[in-house]
Every structure is written in structure tokens, then in C-alpha cells.
Structure 1
Amino acid sequence: MTDQTALPLYLQGRFAPVPDEHSAADLTVRGSLPPDLDGLYLRNGPNPLPGEDNGHWFTGPGMLHGMRLRGGRAEWYRNRWVRTRELEGHPFIRENLTIDLTATPANTHVIRHAGTVLALCEAGLPYWVTPELETVGPYDFGGRLNTAMTAHPKKDPVTGELHLFGTGFAAPPYLTYHRVTAEGLLLDSRPIGVPGPTMMHDFAITERHIVWMDLPVVFDPAHAGRGGVPYRWEAAYGARLGIMSRMPGSTHVRWYDVDPCYVFHVGNAYEDERGRIVLDAVRHDDACFRKSWGDMGGPTSTGGLPGVLEPGHAPASAVLYRWTLDPATGRVCESQLDDREAEFPTHNETLTGRPYRYLYTVSGDGIAKHDLARGTRHTHETPGSRYAGEAVFVPAADATGEDEGWLLSFISNDDGEAGELLVLDAAELSVQAVVELPYPVPAGFHGSWLPETEERRFLS
């Protein structure tokens, strides 16, 4: 029997990987699933092979967890590894020191664009998977994508375009912007000037701009080749936010210096009535980043995982923040939106890049709804050893308000018990339904709701 106390935190309790792939049908539902939840909920996350430790929470091979909902029923649940070249044993850095962009864990996010489901990880190319969670292979947009692809692309809800970027660490360009049409054609790639190999995990769009985050977590060659993720906090690098026009061909970025911090995840961004750029995200200060990075396996000290408070730990300084960038004055205003720890912010994606009111986050005590207009927070608590994952918002079919819809979240257990799919009414944070799973679901990263209506549109 494995001594759990001897394992790193990212292999214990609710983070413990599952050893097998499963399929289950006609799952038990407590409560009532809304009839217009007709589609597939997918979530990605790292899941090392039995007996393996990849050295960092971020580097375990990706496993997809999926549930098909239709007609008030939970038709099936499946979990499948994304069968990448890395999972087959191919190295990311070859013997001739070139990089294999297909040797990626594909473990961070999963989206669908132009009818194609993609498992994402910022280290390399996405992997094409089927709606049944089977792996097709690496996906490079018909040979047009020659950089890595962020795990956090942004789809414009009006144009249908997908905005994304790739980062590099060996040599410039360290940042490349890409734009994909609503039909799935990558037709625009531009190098963007940044001074070094920063770990840019996320970014934002507004109706007319791209928002970059050039922050002081950078590639550390001293730790390259030792396993894990060789990035560390480097205060001398500086911290700044950049605004770039979405006009075709634009590469000019106006930079705004900000207080040193790191951002794993953006909530949303928009242009206000005065033409200022408003960015909402979860801000980690120096101490919080070093603590969380250490327990995830990075080259720094110990501490708690982002968005998770272990018993006896002081509150983490990972909180919702707002940056307001004023092109007229060149100034930036920084303000904290909430004083409680948060991570994995989500919103109604029909308002991506546009003014909005509500954000949903995950904390140690459950799922929180933030009313940014009133400055209030309401929490649905998950009791005992049960912990919520990222809450994906699904708008109701006949919604007239921003928060009319549901939140979907896989529930993981510290005690190794089977998981659940939690369905909350997003307006009230009340429980709409719980789908019982026959197997544990480890804590993971990000997911998406793939409505059946959208799939039919691309297949027709």
C-alpha cells in the first residue's frame, strides 16, 4: 500500500490520479437536470500513469473526463487519456536539441472550435479528440500553426473568431499572436516583442484590443532538464500589461507598468464608456506564487496550491483584482475586488470582451458568485472532504439575463470516494441536480460545455 504522506501534494487526496479508463451509462441523478442541457461537458487535467511522478502538477499526461447530458438524463460518463506522443514516450526536446511540439501532455483545457474538439496545453500543439474522447492526433490548423498554442484561447462571441498565442523559451520570438476564423482557418500570425521567455499562461480580448500580461515568472535554464516546469519568479524582470489593437497586422503594444504579481487566469476584460480597458483576473503576489509553485513542483519554496487552502495555512493572497488602463492618460489603476482567496474564474462567455457583471470562482469552501456591480460575493459551500472544480457557465436556452443558466463542476474527494457532477442554478447558486459517478474524479484544470445544437450546425 502506498504511503500517501510520502507523496507530493499533487499526487495525494483529491489530486491523486486514477489508474484506469472507465465508461458508465445511465447515471443516477439527484434532483432534476434541465431539459435544455443537451450536450457534452468535458474537463481536462493531469493524470500520471500508475506509479509515475512527472515532477510537477502541470506536467502529468492529460486525461479527459466527459459526461453526456440529454433530455434530463445523464447518458454516459467516460474518462480517457489524451494519447499524445509524449504519452507514447517521445521526448519534448529531441537529441539534436530541437523541439517536438507534438510531445505535449495536452492536459490543461479542452474546447471546440469550428466543430473540432481540441485538448490544449501551452507547451505544444493541441490534440484533436472526438466527442467520444478518443484521440485523433496533433492538430496544426492545416500546417499553419508552427508555434505552441495557449491553453486559454479566447473566442469573440460576435465574430466567432478564435484569438490565441504561442510562447517560446529557446530564442525570440518569445510571443506570437494568432487569429483563427469562425470556420477554423488560421489566417494571421504575428510575433510580438517581449524581452524574455516569460510564462504567459493567459491573456484577454476586448471588442477592439488584445490584452497581454508580461509578468515576472520566467524560464530558468538552470532547472531545464530536471523534470517539472523550469520557470521561477524573477523580480528584476518587471511586471506590465500591454494593449494591442485587434486591427489586422497590428503589432504595436502600449505597455503599462503594474505592481509585481502573477496571473494564472483571467476572468474577463472590456472597454468602458470612457474608452478605458478594464481587466479582471486573479492576482498572485510574490509570496503566494512562491508558495503555490513550490507545492506544485516548481523550483521554489513550499506552500498551498492556488485556489486551495490546506488546514492550518494562512489565507493565500490569490484574489480577484481589477486593472483599469487609460489610453488617454497612460495611467493604470489597480484595485482589489474581493478579500477572499479565489481561482479558476469563469463568466458567461456570450459576454467575452464586453461589459459584464458576474464572475464565478472556486475557493477552498466551494463555488463563489461575484456581483461586480454591487461588490458582493455569494458562496455555495461544498462540505467535508468534497471540493469543487472550475465552474463552467451554461446559458439557459431562453435566457434574458446574464446569470440565467447553470454552473457545471466536477466534485473531487480527499478521501478517495467517487466523484459527482454538480449542477447549480447560476442565479441563486442553489443545487439544481447532482449526477453520481461510480469512480473518483481527480482535481483538474479547465473544461467546456459543448452544446449539441452547435455540433449539428457544423455537421450539417
Structure 2
Amino acid sequence: MTAKPYLSGHYTPVPDEITSTSLEVTGTVPPELSGRYLRNGHNPKPGITPSHWFKGSGMLHGVRLTDGRAEWYRNRWVRTPALDGAPLVRHDGSMDLTASVAGTHIIEHGGHLLALQEANLPWEVTPELDTVGPYDFHGRLTSAMTAHPKEDPLTGDLHFFSYSPFPPYLTYYVATPGGHIIREQVVPGAAPTLMHDFAITGTKAVFLDAPVVFDMAETSGIPYRWHDDQPARIGVMDRLGDAGRPPHITWIPIDPRAVLHVTNAYDTPDGKVVLEGPAYDRASWETSWKWWIGAPGHPLAPVTGATATRWVLDPVTGTAAEDGLDDLTTDFPTINEAYTGLPSTISYSVAFPGAGLEEFAITKLDTAAGKRLVHRPGPHRHAGEAVFVPAADAVAEDDGYLLTIVSDLKADASQLLVLDARDLTSVAEIHLPRRVPNGIHGSWIPDGTRP
């Protein structure tokens, strides 16, 4: 077995696709959980060793819940040209935006299930996870799409962006609930930085311009490196107004930080913007990168040193105030998505060993109460991103459930955990027919949602 950390341990790929029905359940699956939990992750074919964690081919894992039962589990590769080795950059130098590994995220929008990878077009799959083909928003999208779009909970519009190492570096898009692009604007002042995620508020789009910059000298296959001469900035741009009008954006300098995943952002009554997310300094970014490329001396876990951070951004003065929210090493934050772009106080994250924590865990951070809860799956067990599902009679922000797949190395098994989002206690364990590699991002697709 290769020594690459993203192809071993909890991340060891599975060699095939299977389907299993009538899954065993410990505890009680709440009957209101009627739908599909779908999760994406990197799973290269047997014999393939990608040069970077992010370059492994995408594989979807799904569990169907209905009437208190776990009806099925299935896993499928997203069958894109990249699965068979087609490159993003063709021999003539042109880009093949369909050559996606499609391994970062899966969402539903406009009646389409979309597997996402930020350097490419989305790839559509069926509810049974079979591949349909590339999706371009009715012919309007001719560039790559971020793997972290944001759906406005008030309008249903999908906000997303495309970034590139070549001008224009950053383009902002808005699509209707039916999947029709109604806004496409180049964002002025952006740099050729690695921009994995962004945020929206009720009035703003918020972009992260980190010191991780396009650099062809980087040989890992993901050509970006930390550069101290690239200032860290956060761009706050008006998201409303006429599509043909040049957008107003304020680039606000911050201390040198990189942010892979945003927790949330929202407007304040006095015109400021609050942004939260796990932040890396240079040392923690470069140490984590060693794991992502399998470099000698890499750490034991893929995330090192990232901690929950809050910025209060003032677009009028162009200044930012930064505060640390927690000292645990965390990433893959999630929230109740009904609060996307709105004031929120509760988030959930994957906690990685370090800063006094000896094993992987799921955390709940309540910034209003100043409290943190930790769910420890146990030794040799690694829980992935926890997806929030609101309860049927939800009133409070945390009324609901968390769904997360656990990789258990000692038992060579996996479960889909259902946790109470209020106190992180276990509600049910759905026993999966194989150990599922730890992955990246997923979604809950409730019944009644198209498709």
C-alpha cells in the first residue's frame, strides 16, 4: 500500500461500487428523516496514486432513509473524463472543463443533483448516483464553478463564483431557483489566489483573497503556494443591484490568514459584516499541505492548526477586527442552512487531534452562550463533516439532527451516525455494508425535493 496519507488509514479508497438494502440500525431513526444523505470524497481507482489529495477521483456515497428505516446504501464513481485520466489542460493548451474529478461536494439545485469540483463544470447525477453528464446552467456557464455555492434561504437563488489563475481572476454568478443564471460579473481587484469558498449576507458577497497564490513552481499538481508578498484580504461586495452596473467592492486587509471553508457571514445593524470560519496561519497551512501531498514529515491528520475565527469587517473604513472563537483544531464547518447569510450563533465542525484533543471528534460551538460541546466517536474512529437536518417542528437554531459517516479502522466498518444537534447525543447508528473512506462534503436531500 502506498505511504500517501490520503490513500491510507481512514482515507483508504474502496475498489468497487456496491449496493446494499435493508441496513441494520441501532437506536431509532426519526421517521421525519425521509430523504437521502449524499456525500462526496476522493477515491481514485485501484492502482492510481494522485499527486495531491484534491486530485483523487470523486466517489459518491448515499444512504436512503424513509419511515424510520435505512432503505439502501450505494456508492458510485462520478464517471467523468478525468476518471479515465483525461487532463484538465489539453495538449493544445485549451481547457477541458468537463475533465473534473468531481470529488468535493454534492448539492441539489433547480431539480439537478450536482457533483462539484472548483476547477470544472458541475457534473449531474441521478438520485441513484449514476452519472448523467456535465451541467452548464442551460448553456450559460462557460467557466468553472466553486464547490461551495450558497443558496439564499429567503429567495432560493444560488450564489457562486469562478476563480482562475488568469484574468479575469474572479467572476460572481447568481442563478434562479430554476437554474437560470441572472447575474454574471467580474469582481474587480481580485488576485490569482486559491479561493475555495466564499460567503453571502443579506446584502453582500464576501470573497477571501489569501496569500496562497498561483505558482507554477509548485510541483504537487495543485499549482498554488503561500507567498508573504501577497496581502491577505477580504472583499466585501454589494450583491444587489443591476447586473450591468460595475459592482462596488471594498478589499479589506487582514492578518496573514488562509480560509478553506466559511462557517457563515451576516450583516450587522450598523453596516458592518461578520464573517466566521477556521483560519490557517502560514505554519499551519504549510504543515497541512504536507499531508495533502504526502510529503516527508507530514502530520498524522489532514488539518493542523486551523482554529475558529471571527472577523468584523467595516466596508466604510476598510478595516477589520479579528477574534479567535475557539482553540481546538477544526475545519469542515456546517450550520443550519436556513441561517445562511443571516445572524447565527451555532456551528458544527470536525475536530482534529491537537490542542489537547487526542482523537477525531465533532464539535458544536455556540458563540452566543460561549459554550462548546464535543462528541467523541471513540478510539480509531473518524467522523466526517456533520450535515445539519432541521427537525420537523424546529423553533430554535439547533432544533434538528446531524448526519455524519464514521470510519472505524479497528472494526473495519462504518456507520452513518444520527446525532441530536442540540446536545450531540447519539440518536441512531446505521450500519453500512463496508468501511467508507473519510471524505469531504455532503448534503441532505429531503423527499419532495426535485429530482
Instruction: Report the TM-score range of the alignment, normalised by the length of the smaller protein.
Output: over 0.9
Deviation at 1:221, TM superposition (A): 1.2
- Pair 1:167 & 2:163 matched: yes
Structure 1, unaligned runs of 5 or more? 308-315
d(CA) in 2 for partners of 1:333, 1:300: 37
Query: For 1:369-396, what per-residue CA distance to the aligned partner results, in whole angstroms no more than 9, with x for missing partners?
Result: 1011011100111101011000000001
- Pair 1:186 & 2:181 matched: yes
Query: For 1:176-222, what per-residue CA distance to the aligned partner results, in whole angstroms no more than 9, with x for missing partners?
Result: 11110011111211111345321000000000100011111111112
The partner residue of 1:72 within 68, 77, 84 is 68
AA matched with 2:292? M
d(CA) in 1 for partners of 2:173, 2:297: 35
The answer as to whether partners of 1:13 and 1:413 remain within 8 angstroms in 2 is no
Query: For 1:283-310, what per-residue CA distance to the aligned partner results, in whole angstroms no more than 9, with x for missing partners?
Result: 0111000000111118897335444xxx
The answer as to whether partners of 1:56 and 1:228 remain within 8 angstroms in 2 is yes
Deviation at 1:322, TM superposition (A): 0.1
The partner residue of 1:196 within 191, 195, 208 is 191
The partner residue of 2:251 within 255, 274, 284 is 255
AA matched with 1:72? G
CA gap 1:418/1:239 in 2 versus in 1, 3 angstroms: same
Number of the residue aligned with 1:148: 144
- Pair 1:444 & 2:439 matched: yes
The answer as to whether partners of 1:422 and 1:433 remain within 8 angstroms in 2 is yes
Q: Matches of residues 47-58 of structure 1 in structure 2 within 5 Å?
A: 47-58=43-54
CA gap 1:196/1:412 in 2 versus in 1, 3 angstroms: same
CA gap 1:255/1:227 in 2 versus in 1, 3 angstroms: closer
Number of the residue aligned with 2:403: 408
Number of the residue aligned with 2:325: 337
AA matched with 1:256? I
Number of the residue aligned with 1:233: 226
AA matched with 2:203? R
Number of the residue aligned with 2:30: 34
d(CA) in 1 for partners of 2:230, 2:364: 34
d(CA) in 2 for partners of 1:275, 1:392: 31
Query: For 1:221-250, what per-residue CA distance to the aligned partner results, in whole angstroms no more than 9, with x for missing partners?
Result: 123xx5531211111111000110012335
Bigger drift between 269-278 and 36-45 goes to 269-278
Q: Matches of residues 345-424 of structure 1 in structure 2 within 5 Å?
A: 345-364=333-352, 365-415=360-410, 417-424=412-419
Number of the residue aligned with 1:63: 59
- Pair 1:91 & 2:79 matched: no
Structure 2, unaligned runs of 5 or more? 353-359
The answer as to whether partners of 1:122 and 1:150 remain within 8 angstroms in 2 is yes
1:291 counterpart SS class:
helix
d(CA) in 2 for partners of 1:411, 1:290: 27
Number of the residue aligned with 1:245: 238
Number of the residue aligned with 1:310: none
Bigger drift between 79-88 and 187-196 goes to 187-196
Query: For 1:133-181, what per-residue CA distance to the aligned partner results, in whole angstroms no more than 9, with x for missing partners?
Result: 0000011112110110000000000000000001112x20011111100
CA gap 1:213/1:300 in 2 versus in 1, 3 angstroms: farther
1:222 counterpart SS class:
coil
Number of the residue aligned with 1:319: 307
AA matched with 2:232? A
Query: For 1:387-439, what per-residue CA distance to the aligned partner results, in whole angstroms no more than 9, with x for missing partners?
Result: 10000000011111111100000111334711110000001111000000111
The answer as to whether partners of 1:230 and 1:299 remain within 8 angstroms in 2 is no
- RMSD (Å) for aligned C-alpha atoms: 1.5
The answer as to whether partners of 1:203 and 1:212 remain within 8 angstroms in 2 is yes
Bigger drift between 422-431 and 86-95 goes to 86-95
- Pair 1:25 & 2:25 matched: no
d(CA) in 2 for partners of 1:300, 1:386: 25
CA gap 1:85/1:194 in 2 versus in 1, 3 angstroms: farther
d(CA) in 1 for partners of 2:43, 2:253: 38
d(CA) in 1 for partners of 2:220, 2:284: 22
The answer as to whether partners of 1:282 and 1:318 remain within 8 angstroms in 2 is yes
Query: For 1:70-90, what per-residue CA distance to the aligned partner results, in whole angstroms no more than 9, with x for missing partners?
Result: 000000000000000111332
The answer as to whether partners of 2:138 and 2:179 remain within 8 angstroms in 1 is no
Number of the residue aligned with 1:313: none
d(CA) in 1 for partners of 2:44, 2:274: 38
- Pair 1:205 & 2:200 matched: yes
Deviation at 1:252, TM superposition (A): 2.3
